[in-house]
Structures are given as C-alpha cells and as structure tokens.
Amino acid sequence: MNVMRRLKSIASGRTSISSSDSGGDAGTKRAKVDQEIERKVDGESYLVERGVTVPGQEQRMASTSQENAASTSNITSVTRTEKSGYDQLPKEMHQMKIKDEKTTNYDENEMEAAIVSGSGTESGQIIATTVGGRNGQPKQTISYMAERMVGTGSFGVVFQAKCLETGQAVAIKKVLQDKRYKNRELQIMRLLDHPNVVQLKHCFYSTTEKDELYLNLVMEYVSETVHRVSRHFNRMNHQHMPIIYVQLYTYQICRALNYLHHVIGVCHRDIKPQNLLVNPHTHQLKICDFGSAKMLVPGEPNISYICSRYYRAPELIFGAPEYTTAIDIWSAGCVLAELLRGQPLFPGESGVDQLVEIIKIFHKQMPPEAVDLVSRLLQYSPNMRCTALEACAHPFFNDLRDANACLPDGRALPPLLNFTAQELAGASTELRQRLIPEHAHARKENP
C-alpha cells in the first residue's frame, strides 16, 4: 500500500520538492541537482547544460519544437500581451562575437571570431559566421538574420532566423557552454540523419562581453508541433484529432524511435507532443530536443529524474537508475493515448495504477486496433513493451500501407515505407513483410 501511495504521489508530481510547474516537471532546483549527479555517474567529460535558473521552468531546454514555431522541449509560452518582449532577442546577443566551430577541442585560440552587426536587442540583427575551410576547401560566410525569439527556458533560448544567402528559415538554439566539457546534445545531433528526426545544419560559438561562451545549434525550421495541432482540434467543438493524423503521427514517432534506439543507440528521454515537430502541409513529423538524450550503457547508472511528468515511465517514477530505451516506448504510448482521448493520459493527479480503468474506457470509445497498440506500448514491465519497429508493423497502421492511401485533401502521404537496411537490421522476414507491402517493393524497383 505504501509503495502504491508513493507511486501515485510521484506520478502526480507531489515530490519532496515543491513545484509551481503545471505542465511538465518539478522545479529546476531538483533538476539541477540530478543533472550534477549524472555528470559524476556517467564517468564521461560530457557537459551537463546549465544556465540561469528560471522559476517554474522545466528541467531541460528542447532543441527545436515550438509553440508558435520551432519550439523547444521546455519552452515558456508567451502571451500576446507580452509580444513586445517576445520578439526581442536575448540581451546576451548584444555585440557578441561569433566563433565558428573548427574542432571538438574548445580552445579559444582555434576559433576564428567574426563581429556581429546590429544592436542585438531587436529583430533584424545579422549574425555572420563561416563554415568550411577544411581539406583544402575555401571558407564560406553564412549570415543569419534574427527574426524573433520563439522560446526561452532555464538552459537557453531559441529564435527563428533566416539565412540571407539562401532565404531559408532556420531555428537557432543558444545554450550556455561550459568550456570544460563537450556538449552531449551537439555530439548526438551530429550523428542523426533521418526523415523523422530534426536536422542539424550548422553550429557555431558566440561570446558575450562578459566572456561567456554560448553554443548555437542551427536547425531546420518546422512551424508546428503535435501539441499545437492536437490543441487545434480540441478547440473545434471539442473534437478529437482525425484518426488518419493519429496514425500518421504515431507511426512516424515509432519509426524515428526505431532509428534512434537501434541505429544510433540513443535514448531520447523526453518524448512528448511539444517535442514533435509537424509540417502542417505534408504532415511529416520530426522528433526534436536532444538536450536530454543519451547513449545508455548497460550496467551504468543514469538519473531517473528525467522526461516530462505526464510521459514518465513507471521505472523512472520509482527512481530506477538502470533503465533502457523502453522509457521512450512508454512515452510514445502516452502520446498516442493523448491524441486519441484529446487530453493527457496521466494528468498529474492520476496514478499509473489507473491504467487498467483507462484502458476499459478505451475499449468503449476507440478502435480495437488502437486499444491493442496502446496496451502493447504501455506495458508496466519495460521488457514486455513492444519495440518501436514492432509498433510500426501493428495493424493500427494498416491504412497507411494501403496503395491508395493519401491525406484527407488528396495529397500524397509523407515518406513512410522507405526503410533503410540499417533500420531493418535484425528484423525477421515476417516482420519485414508486415512493414513493407508488395506495392511498395514494386514501386521501389520501378520508380
């Protein structure tokens, strides 16, 4: 009985550290303590990002998801009445110097600096940096015009910008860099190349007049998130998201997780609707925010105070130091259930022990295939949860594998069946046949 009380208490966010945070995690004070612990137990010289503490913020800044565009994992939403402050760029950008990254060794003598023009306090500031210059290649100057800040958190800011050379919109995440450590988020993002994972385009360093070093991650800009899309449908006479979009988004989440878990070997550790970017025209989904991501090593402890509260797996709630990528599968199940219900599955006051009752409600309201998939993703035991690739092959997604499947407006679906050999490595013949229908094979052979 005491164990269940503790579980329900932690699941609802009522920990020994009080929190004014209503949407995700307990206060940054607790998060900072655990992040320092992780630095010690990892046995690696990886940076645990740190920054100015902002009361009520969640524990990590995301990379590119946005409330209004390119938002981050733990972005503070700003109302229209604060628009004047929302559009201003951070004060640290005032007269800062830009340093292009040349090596993972952060020796200032090995970084070339370029002066940033503009006051740094309003949109229109020009940020100039250089890329290339290696292997005999000439250097190339790239200039970004900052347009507006789209998010802020305790570990950095994200602003939307435009590349002046190409006219392409980008999102730039700016985080304080400890010169003593490598940045884990950067190291992981350099490995990523998948249609359902946000792309890192460039990175550079900047310094302020206080000689603080900042890492700037330049990423592709995607204008919406699953969170905003879901909220849009909920506001339309309290309608749920159309099932085709639930299928599309969940499938792409699972495909991206299969890539992260089995190709790259990374656990995301903060899957939630705010960290799932969506192109509103093509409905292609991309996972973002790798600020909490880590390559989990069997036998090595990790911090358990990770992942936003509504999407936290039972083993994390119990404080298990050794866990697996199955925590991401649980989070994906929570997201699927939220899209089906129109509200979070475990909204703070609910405990994990209520899962059985919720599934009973699902049986009365949802398609049986959806209920079955949720049940497979939300297995209490991590070892019993299906893998991300097995989830992709689930009958709930059969409509997406139909040769005539298309978006409601008649446009083609985003790429769903173009699996690489790496993605399918280790998959049985039977699983591959369920994943890729005959018409997809024929189309690949006769493009």
Q: Averaged in consecutive runs of 10 residues, what is the pLDDT profile of the chain (447 residues)?
A: 43 36 40 43 37 35 38 36 40 42 38 35 71 71 86 77 92 88 91 96 84 89 93 81 96 98 97 95 95 92 89 90 95 95 74 59 78 93 97 97 94 95 96 92 57
- Collapsing DSSP to helix, strand or coil, 169 comes out as strand
The pLDDT of residue 27 is: 37
- Specify the DSSP class assigned to residue 263: I
Q: Looking at the structure, do residues 263 and 326 belong to the same domain, yes or no?
A: yes
Evaluate whether residue 11 is within a structural domain.
Answer: no
**180 plus 247 within the same structural domain:** no
Same structural domain, 62 and 160 = yes
Retrieve residue 373's tokens: 């998939």
Q: What is the pLDDT of residues 204-213, one digit of tens each?
A: 888 877 888 8
Q: In whole angstroms, what is the distance from residue 204 CA to residue 284 CA? A: 28
Taking alpha carbons only, the member of 211, 226, 89 closest to residue 144 is: 89
User: Do the domain assignments include residue 247?
Assistant: yes
Q: Identify the three-state secondary structure at position 34.
A: helix
Establish if 1 belongs to a structural domain.
no
Residue 135 and residue 242 share a domain: no
Of the residues 201, 220, 239, the one at which a domain ends: 220
> Could you tell me if 409 and 396 lie in one domain?
yes
User: 149, 158 in Cβ contact below 8 A?
Assistant: yes
| 125 and 243, same domain (yes or no) | no
Same domain, 109 and 250: no
178 is catalytic: no
Residues 397 and 261 in one domain: yes
Residue 198 sits in the same domain as residue 246: no
Q: Are 34 and 305 in contact (CB under 8 A)?
A: yes
Whether residues 108 and 233 share a domain: the answer is no
The DSSP 8-state label assigned to residue 260 in this structure reads: I
Number of domains in the chain: 2
Amino acid at site 38: E
- Mark whether 267 and 328 lie in a shared domain: yes
* Cα distance between residue 391 and residue 371, in whole Å: 13
Cα–Cα distance for residue pair 224/216, rounded to 1 Å? 21
Domain boundary residue among 152, 185, 220? 220
* Per-residue pLDDT, 150: 80
Instruction: State how far the Cα of 366 lies from the Cα of 372, in Å rounded to an integer.
Output: 10
Helices (H), 43-130: 83-86
* Residue 267 belongs to domain with CATH number: 1.10.510.10
User: Is there a domain that residue 347 lies in?
Assistant: yes
Q: Among the options 25, 42, 270, 328, which is catalytic?
A: 270
Residue indicated by tokens 């049940």 = 375
Residue 170 lies in a domain: yes
Calculate the alpha carbon distances from 380 to 254, 257, 269, 312 in Å.
19, 19, 17, 12
Q: Is 97 annotated as a binding residue?
A: no
Please indicate, yes or no, if residue 92 is contained in any of the structural domains. yes
Range of the domain at 433: 224-445
Give the N- to C-terminal CA distance of the chain in Å, as an integer.
Answer: 61
Per-residue pLDDT tens over the stretch 228-241: 999 998 888 667 89
DSSP string, 163-203: ETTT--EEEEEEEE--TTSEEHHHHHHTT---TTBPPEEEE
Residue 97's alpha-carbon distances to 91, 162, 252, in angstroms, are: 13, 19, 39
What CATH number does residue 55 fall under? 3.30.200.20
State the DSSP code for 91.
G
Rounded Cα distance between 71 and 415, Å, is 23
The answer as to whether 216 is a domain residue is yes
How far is residue 430's CA from residue 423's CA, in Å, rounded to a whole number?
Answer: 15
* Residue finishing a domain among 165, 192, 220: 220
Give yes or no: residues 128 and 244 share one domain: no
Task: Evaluate whether 195 touches 279 at the Cβ level (below 8 Å).
Answer: no
Can you tell me the distance from the alpha carbon of 367 to that of 356, in angstroms, rounded to the nearest whole number?
17
Do β-strands 200-207 and 213-220 pair in parallel, antiparallel, or remain unpaired? Answer: antiparallel
pLDDT of residue 128: 81
Q: Is residue 254 part of a domain?
A: yes
